[in-house]
Amino acid sequence: MTANLSIPFETSKLFIGGEWVDPVDGEVVSSIDPSLGRGWAMAPMGGAADIDRAVARAEEALSGPWSRWSVIERSNLLRRIARLCLENADQLAELESRDNGMPIKDARTSVANIANFYNYFASLADTLTGSQLPVDPNIHAYTQRVPAGVVGAIVAWNTPLQNTAWKVGPALATGCTLVIKPAEQTPISSLAMAAIFTEAGVPPGVINIVPGLGTLAGVRLVESERVNKIAFTGEHRTAQEIMRRGAANLKRLSFECGGKAPHIIFDDARLDQALNAALGSAFALTGQSCALGSRVLVQRSVYERVIEELARRAASIRVGVASDIKTQMGPQAHAAQLDKTLRYIGYGREDGARLVTGGARLNGNLQDGYFMQPTIFADVEPGMRIAQDEIFGPVCSIIPFGDEDEAVAIANGTQYGLVAGVWTENLGRAHRLSQRLRAGTVWVNTYRFVRWNIPYGGIGISGLGRENGPAALDPYLETKSTVVSLTSQFADPYPAG
């Protein structure tokens, strides 16, 4: 099947070595539209042999003409990718929306934004400086930053195109080559990017795309001794398994994992704005983002008011099929994720939280898709399962607190440490909490402000390393030292008599 794009691509074939090829030991399956609960495109699932083919081509490309490209050429390549993303934004957004259930209006915004990430990494390509090391007048010692090698990029299913950009950008800027394994649930939009990479002039083998099951294709990619670095976005238990399996050849690793973000609202906050952010941070992407504020911590003096207002607003969210421009919240991306959300709603009830609104799967004309009601629990205790575990669904837990110390204790009382939000008009409090909160990013009087030049990543089981910003290049680079004698003299170590 060839999609109806201005740049055509093959949805049922793998992209290896610059060519569309059939899986060798995988299969072609139906990719499910979560709005409809049925297949909409055929997609390839590569196996171990397909990963081996892709890694071999990436390794060949690493030592081929690509290794001699100048930083200006790599920078211009990334800018061409950015331009083509914008030129094909409508089609890419349609594919992203169809494959993972993201509302079309959100998908259009997301796709238009990824061009900024490619352009940003293009601007970093010529910033990779080494240093000259003063040692001795007769010695010239210097360092270079060189590509880490072949990168295995494992992309999550919640925002595939953004995930891809966050890995392809720094890899190409530093001169690495890639094997991308999109999630088996959402392979189509990632495959479409192969056509854009080709049109932009990416040399054959520099980027290869092999969708497949994590237990087959993913394991092979991680265990391959010819893969030098793994960049992974997904669940922390998978990251832990990657660390174990990648230990054989001491792979470089970077992980962006889950979160259970606290969104802290003090009674001196601009409550109307805080409520806007809390609602958006709970239900954007149907709750399927690790950066969402799924724990809303509210100071007791405004606690009941916040509950009442959030419940009223949540009940009015327009839930519908992703293709409808009026839809504000789409379906869960796949059936297993819907089942997990329903299971945790059951846990919330069992543990004694107060269900304020939602709590059920939607029926009627949406019964075939994976649709959930926006759900809010109040009177949630910090130790409850819905307050400790990442649900990845439209479930918001509201937790009361008294003062700063209690808010910080609750906020830091999980294994996660990705992001946090604080709403207060007290400047000193804002800075105090920023220092005390265990999170890679703290947003004050805003939320989900993610940009290409701001480092993004987590603490603890929320991740390893940073994506975006100059620090994003570090995991894709090795430091090489060169020492040159200016005299070409070396003393005889064993002089006679």
Q: What is the DSSP string of 124-152?
A: HGGG----EEEEETTEEEEEEEEE--EEE
CB 209 within 8 A of CB 190: yes
Report the pLDDT averaged over residues 44-53. 97
Report the pLDDT averaged over residues 126-150. 94
CB 290 within 8 A of CB 157: no
Contacts of 491 (CB under 8 A, 6+ apart): none
- What's the pTM? 0.94
Alpha carbons 496 and 100: distance in angstroms, whole number: 76
Q: How far is CA 44 from CA 1, 100, 133, in A?
A: 11, 16, 51
Query: At residue 2, does pLDDT exceed 50?
Result: no
Q: How far is CA 356 from CA 304, 310, 463, in A?
A: 11, 10, 33
pLDDT recorded at residue 210: 98
Q: Which residue type does 36 have?
A: L
Query: At residue 416, does pLDDT exceed 50?
Result: yes
CB 390 within 8 A of CB 290: yes
pLDDT recorded at residue 8: 80
Q: Which two tokens stand for residue 438?
A: 């265990």
Contacts of 312 (CB under 8 A, 6+ apart): none
Alpha carbons 26 and 42: distance in angstroms, whole number: 13
pLDDT-derived band at 5 (thresholds 50, 70, 90) equals: low
Query: At residue 107, does pLDDT exceed 90?
Result: yes
pLDDT recorded at residue 357: 97
87 is known as an active-site residue: no
pLDDT-derived band at 10 (thresholds 50, 70, 90) equals: confident
pLDDT tens-digit readout, 319-369: 999 999 999 999 999 999 999 999 999 999 999 999 999 999 999 999 999
167 is known as an active-site residue: yes
Angle (CA) 342 333 263, round 5°: 65
Q: How far is CA 357 from CA 66, 279, 317, in A?
A: 56, 13, 12
Indicate which residue of 85, 257, 290, 396 is catalytic: 290
290 is known as an active-site residue: yes
Indicate which residue of 85, 94, 167, 257 is catalytic: 167
Report the pLDDT averaged over residues 442-446. 98
CB 69 within 8 A of CB 166: no
Q: Which two tokens stand for residue 470?
A: 């100059």
pLDDT tens-digit readout, 376-391: 999 999 999 999 999 9
pLDDT recorded at residue 79: 98
Average pLDDT along the chain: 95
Q: Which two tokens stand for residue 9?
A: 């691509």
Q: How far is CA 238 from CA 215, 246, 292, in A?
A: 10, 12, 20
176 is known as an active-site residue: no
Nearest to 15 by CA among 212, 217, 220, 209: 209
Chain Cα centroid distance, residue 423: 25
Report the pLDDT averaged over residues 262-283. 96
Query: At residue 4, does pLDDT exceed 60?
Result: no
Indicate which residue of 59, 184, 223, 467 is catalytic: 467
Report the pLDDT averaged over residues 152-174. 97
**Secondary structure (3-state) at 44:** strand
CATH numbers and ranges of domains, the chain: 14-257+458-482 (3.40.605.10), 262-444 (3.40.309.10)
Sign of CA dihedral 111, 40, 10, 15: positive
> Could you say which DSSP state residue 250 is in?
T
Query: At residue 220, does pLDDT exceed 60?
Result: yes
pLDDT recorded at residue 9: 87
Indicate which residue of 256, 257, 260, 396 is catalytic: 256
Phi and psi torsions of 413, nearest 5° = -90, 30
pLDDT recorded at residue 3: 46
Element spanning 262, H or E: strand 262-265
Chain Cα centroid distance, residue 199: 25
CB 277 within 8 A of CB 446: yes
Nearest to 151 by CA among 476, 492, 401: 476
